[in-house]
Amino acid sequence: MIGTANMQHELKQLYRKWPDIRRYLKTLGCDSVGAEDIFQEALLIYIRKHESSEFELTVEPFFYVRNTCKLLWYNQARKEQKQLSTELHENIEAAEEVWFEKEMKIREVESTLEKLGAQCQELLQLFYGLGWNMVDIAKKIGLRNDKVAKAQKYRCLQKAKEMIQEHEQLVEPIKA
């Protein structure tokens, strides 16, 4: 577990390598708009991985992020049915892991949460993401007091659950 300040510092350091990563992704056939999304996703995976206690970094952060970028890009390209050399394909299969799949699932939920109202999103992010207490959150997002904020949080959670269930119902038939 590392503090937010440390994390931010490390992110800054990694962001300096962005031009290198962009070049690298371009050689793989990624366009520059998609490249930044992939890079940010890779950074996200890196800091989340960093938080789990059993994670041990065997390579430099830069190489880890670069590898993740590659992985994400192949995942995306496969979804978009782009032509890829089989050799690289197999490498990716081997590199996939349970953690990664779970992370992708969380990512889907995350994109569903984006359909929530702005206030709900901020509330949930502040509470679960940054661990603020309800009093501060209420002040920050303009609610009367922490009780109201707490009630609002439940409402948001409920709404999120409903949305996810809806989403699953929509997606399931396609999967099947």
Partner 1 sequence: METNWNQLIERYLQNELSEEGKNAFEQELQFNPELREELEMHQLIQSAAKRASQRNMIRQTGKMYLRNLRIKQFAVGVVVTTLTAAGIVYWIQTKHKSNTSLTENVSANSEVHASERNRSAVRIDNQPNQSGGKSSLIQPTDWQMAKETDFRSKTTLTGLKSAHSDFPQEVNGNAVVKGQGTGSSGDSLPAPKPTVAILGYTNDKLKGEVIETKVLNGAMDKNLLWIQKYDSVGKFNDLYCGYALVMDKAKFGFVDPEGKIFIPIKYDQIVVTTNIKSSKQKNKRQKKKVLYIPKRSGKDVKDCEEANGKISNEWIAY
Q: Token pair for residue 2?
A: 């590392």
Contacts of 21 (CB under 8 A, 6+ apart): 35, 39, 42, 65, 66, 69
User: How far is the C-alpha of 65 from the C-alpha of 122, rounded, in Å?
Assistant: 27
Q: Which is nearer to partner 1, 51 or 90 (CB)?
A: 51
Helix (H, G, I), strand (E, B) or coil at 38: helix
User: How far is the C-alpha of 160 from the C-alpha of 154, rounded, in Å?
Assistant: 10
User: How far is the C-alpha of 51 from the C-alpha of 1, rounded, in Å?
Assistant: 5
Residues 43-72 that bind partner 1 (CB under 8 A): 43-44, 47-48
> Does the footprint of partner 1 cover residue 107 (CB under 8 A)?
yes
Residue range at the interface with partner 1 (CB under 8 A); choices 62-70, 76-84, 138-146, 153-161: 153-161
> Does the footprint of partner 1 cover residue 141 (CB under 8 A)?
no
> Does the footprint of partner 1 cover residue 121 (CB under 8 A)?
yes
Q: Which residues bind partner 1 (CB under 8 A)?
A: 4, 7-8, 11-12, 15-16, 18, 36, 40, 43-44, 47-48, 105-107, 109-110, 112-114, 121, 124-130, 154, 157-158, 160-161, 164
